[in-house]
Structure 1
Amino acid sequence: MEITVVDHPLAAARLTIMRDARTGNDGFRAALADLGAMLVYEASRDLPLESFEVATPVDVAVGHRLANPPIIIPIIRAGLGMIDPALSMIPDAQVGFIGLARDEETHRPVPYLEALPEDLSDRRVFLVDPMLATGGSLLHALRLLADRGARDVTAVCMVSAQPGVDALAGSGLAARLVTATIDPALDEDAYIVPGLGDAGDRLYGPRNIDL
């Protein structure tokens, strides 16, 4: 499995803001947007281009555009925060959705939404989720994509835990991983250590809110 850890000063600075327990929802969203764009930029490095002529103010130049823009698929809810940064980099990308909740007792993913093209056999897929912890959600999503013919999938995760990376590598599922860091462990509740907490809660607030 191909793994790219984005080692860049700006990525490290944004990741630090996201890790900091003092960072509020607004600061967390802003840092996530910046880091998400950086990771998608890196994940896009080998996308194929097509050439065409473009008129400049003084002459004609050779221009380039993506030959087949990828489809961006967030694992929601936390993955929703990565859609806008991804589209800022690839504005002509399409978007699909996979909804998975976390069972707090078993730590297994509970699917509740699937909005995807029927045939992904000729599409590059960017599967985006801020966190790769146990790997359960990501592996479930990858199986859904494989059932629809996806053969070229890049998982873009901001923080990855070594157990989740190992689960992905040992799954036999074809996918690349682009991440900002690989943290060493999970705690007894399957949260990444040192991690950054629950990305969905830090983006949008707790799941259960008294209004």
Structure 2
Amino acid sequence: MQLHIVDHPLAASSLTVLRDERTPRSRFRPVLYDLAMMLVYEATRTLPTMPVAVTTPLATTSGVRLAAEPVVVPVLRAGLGMLPAALNLLPDAHTAFIGLSRDETTFEPTVYLEAVPSDLAGRPVLLLDPMLATGGSALHCLRLLADRGARGVTVVSVVAAPEGLAALESGGPAVGTADLTVVTAVVDERLNETAYIVPGLGDAGDRIFGEM
């Protein structure tokens, strides 16, 4: 597994705003959009391309286009906050959806939606989830994506916990750990007793959409 931390002043500044408990939803959402743009930009750095010819006003030259249609997969509901930025950068991407809720006793994910193409072979896949905490949700998603033929999935998160990264690292062939990449703005200290990331930024879904 490869870990890429986006160490950039603008990313750090946006993360600071997202962490602040005083930041209202009206401000949280556009700042998350800005940071997600930076994260997805970095996550797509190694997308495969193919050469094409292009005619400028002065001459014909060579250019590139993406070799395969990417698939972006927001993990509902918090991942929806990152989806507009991803589609701005990848307007032709296919969007799939995985809906998971958290059991507040076991901290394990409960599935309520899986809308994913049946064949992902040969297609770059970005899994969008602001928080990589225990890793349980990401592992479930990665197993599903691997079963559909996805290889080399990139997990894009705002904040990651060491426990979540360790869970992905030990996921093995079933989740494609060898070809897995995690792109995040920061690796935080730890999880607390209720499996929230510390210092973190709270419940991302609640801060984007309001408490349920």
TM-score range, shorter chain: over 0.9
Letter in 1 for 2:189: P
1:69 aligned to 2:69?
A: yes
- Structure 1 Cα separation of the partners of residues 64 and 147 of structure 2: 33
Cα shift readout 1:109-159 (whole Å, capped 9, x = no counterpart) = 000000011111221110110000000100011111111121120100110
User: Could you tell me which residue of structure 1 aligns to residue 157 of structure 2?
Assistant: 157
Q: Aligned partners of 1:117, 1:156: CA distance in 2, in Å?
A: 20
2:142 corresponding residue in structure 1:
142
Deviates more, 1:53-62 or 1:25-34: 53-62
- Segments of 5+ residues of structure 2 without an aligned counterpart are none
Q: Deviations over 1:141-181 (max 9, x none)?
A: 11111111211201001100011111111111322101100
Match of 1:98, SS state, is strand
Structure 1 gaps of 5+ residues are: none
Find the partner of 2:195 among 190, 196, 201.
190
Scaled by the length of structure 2, the TM-score of the pair is 0.95
1:47: which partner in 2? 47
Assess if the C-alpha contact under 8 Å between 2:100 and 2:111 holds in 1: yes
The answer to whether the Cα contact below 8 Å between 1:123 and 1:152 also exists between their aligned partners in 2 is no
Is the partner of 1:197 in helix, strand or coil?
coil
Q: CA RMSD in A?
A: 0.9
* 1:1-211 aligned within 5 A: 1-172=1-172, 173-174=175-176, 175-207=180-212
1:59 deviates by 2.0
> Do the aligned residues in 1 keep the contact of 2:135 with 2:168 (CA within 8 Å)?
yes
Shift of 1:16: 0.6
Q: Which amino acid aligns with 1:192?
A: I
Matched length: 207
Report how far residue 58 of structure 1 moved: 2.0
- Deviation, structure 1 residue 67: 1.0
Cα distance in structure 2, aligned partners of 1:97 and 1:206: 21
What residue identity is the alignment partner of 2:130?
Answer: P
Per-residue CA distance 1:171-193 (angstroms, 9 max, x = gap): 11322101100001011111100
> Structure 1 runs of 4+ off > 3 angstroms?
none
| Partner Cα separation in structure 2 for residue 69 and residue 45 of structure 1 | 15
| Partners of 1:85 and 1:179 in 2: CA distance | 15
